[in-house]
Amino acid sequence: MKQFRAISLLIIILGMIVSACKPINSDATPTDQLDDIRTVAARTIEALTTQMLQTEQANKTLSPHMPGETPEIPTPFVETVQAPTNEAEALPTPIEGSQPNDKPCDLAFFMGETIPDGSVLYPGMMFKKTWTFRNDGSCTWTGDYAVVFISGDSMSAAVATPIGKAEVKPGETVEVAVPLIAPTMGGEYRADFKLRNAGGVLFAFKNPDHTFWADIKVVEGVIHLAHAYCGATWTSAAGVLPCPGLPSDSAGYVYSDNAPVLETGAVDDEPTLWLGVNAIQNGYVMGVYPAMKIPENAYFSTVLGCGHGLSQCRVNFVLAYQEGEGQVVQLGSWDELYDGELEHIRLDLSALGGRTVKIVLIARAIDSPDGGRIHLLEPVIKP
């Protein structure tokens, strides 16, 4: 305030000087000799005033606030940021471990499979479809978990097939195999499956409607009886037989062999059926295949022989067919004895061309059942 009083006093003094120097004659010429003095005085006052105001403002800024005074609140600085372009950018990134584990108890992740979609198979051919899954749920799978058929053509799949492993922990993988048999008629077929937990609840993937499947194409024209043999129903005097069977089964048996030792002692590499009669007088074993379409101009061919080293082998082999539920009709009959020689069979089936029938194979013991075991090397029906 003292500075403002000094400025005021100075202004008054300068004003008096200016007034004293002003000419009395009001008609003075436009050129005023005292203009320079007045200009300097005005600039001096302006400079002093500006300097003193700046000093006063600086003192206010540097001086601490006195108790009871309310300081001026500065306007906050607002930074302008670009709005996010999508919802994901608008949300903060979750910190690992900060979210609760919301995985369902049972969840599978598909890793791979065998028998790719559209694989071409022969009518009645047996095959095994294998899927590889990772346990993506929060619960451990046990031996009570299974693969179950859902829809489509079952391809002779069991209603439920165990996953085949006692324990599959979260994050672990398992290979699940299901034995299947191709239909006997040509066409495209698909069987859909899901997993089932120990409580009977079905599940599969994140989308609960999704399944996994076997998808094949059956071609007509060739019927491999050794590939399709477990699609047939096998019986003896003892009743229905398991397939495949065991050569130690006295009730009779059937099984396939890809490295058979023939009657001659030679080892072959063709798929072969072994038929063993049940161990009784006049024992037999019989297989009835599901109905299949016989190709035009087809032949039945195989190589018939007794089991190697079975010198008591005396077996009658019969090829027959059944149409619908009608009578079994014999097509051909051959007696096989253990003599170190093989029987090459080629039978014309052109009379059955284009017809849908059940092929029937029968092996009967001649007299004693001892050594009643024969092989059919690559039994096939084709043009």
Summarize pLDDT for 15-24 with one digit per residue, the tens: 444 444 444 3
pLDDT above 70: percentage of residues in the chain: 74
pLDDT band of residue 199 (cuts 50, 70, 90) is very high
Residue 223 has pLDDT above 70, yes or no: yes
Give Cα separations from 157 to 125, 146, 152, 162 (angstroms). Answer: 13, 13, 11, 12
Specify whether 233 is located in the same domain as 209.
no
Average pLDDT over residues 235-261: 95
Q: Does 342 fall in a domain?
A: yes
Q: How many CA atoms lie within 13 A of 268 on its CB side?
A: 22
pLDDT at 28 > cutoff 50: no
Please indicate, yes or no, if residue 69 is contained in any of the structural domains.
Answer: no
pLDDT the model gives residue 124: 87
Residues 177 and 269 in one domain: no
Same domain? For 277 and 308 the reply is yes
User: Are 136 and 228 in the same domain?
Assistant: no
Does residue 42 surpass a pLDDT of 60?
A: no
Q: Which pLDDT band holds residue 241 (cuts at 50, 70, 90)? A: very high
pLDDT score for 125: 86
- Position with higher pLDDT, 126 vs 98: 126
Distant-in-sequence, close-in-space partners of 287: CB < 8 Å, separation ≥ 6: 229, 232, 233, 234, 254, 275, 360, 361, 362
In a domain, 46, yes or no: no
How wide is the angle at C-alpha 112 spanned by C-alphas 109 and 116, nearest 5°? 135
Full domain range(s) for residue 119: 108-219
Tell me: do 124 and 203 sit in the same domain: yes
Q: Residue holding tokens 């072969």?
A: 272
User: Are residues 307 and 320 both part of a single domain?
Assistant: yes
Please say if the pLDDT value at position 127 is more than 60: yes
Is the confidence at residue 47, as pLDDT, over 90?
no
What value does the mean pLDDT take over residues 214-239?
Answer: 93
- Sequence-distant (≥ 6) Cβ neighbours of residue 138 within 8 angstroms: 101, 103, 104, 105, 170
Tens digit of pLDDT for each residue in 203-214? 999 999 999 999
More confident residue, 176 or 41: 176
Say if residue 318 is in the same domain as residue 373.
yes
Domain boundary (152, 184, 219) is at 219
Domain shared by 202 and 238, yes or no: no
Surface-to-core class of residue 184, CB atoms within 10 Å of its CB (0-12 exposed, 13-18 middle, 19+ buried): buried
Average pLDDT over residues 40-45: 42
Residues 256 and 158 in one domain: no
At residue 316, the 3 state secondary structure works out as strand
Query: Is there a single domain that holds both residue 314 and residue 189?
Result: no
What CATH number does residue 233 fall under?
A: 2.60.120.200
252 pLDDT above the threshold of 70:
yes
Indicate if the pLDDT at residue 58 is higher than 90: no
How many domains, in total, are found in the chain?
2
The predicted structure's pLDDT at residue 101: 61
- DSSP label of 9: H
Mean pLDDT rounded to a whole number for the chain: 80
Residues 289 and 213 in one domain: no
| Pair 260, 367 in one domain | yes
CA atoms within 13 A on the CB side of 149: 17
- Between helix 35-62 and helix 2-21 the angle, nearest 10°, is 170
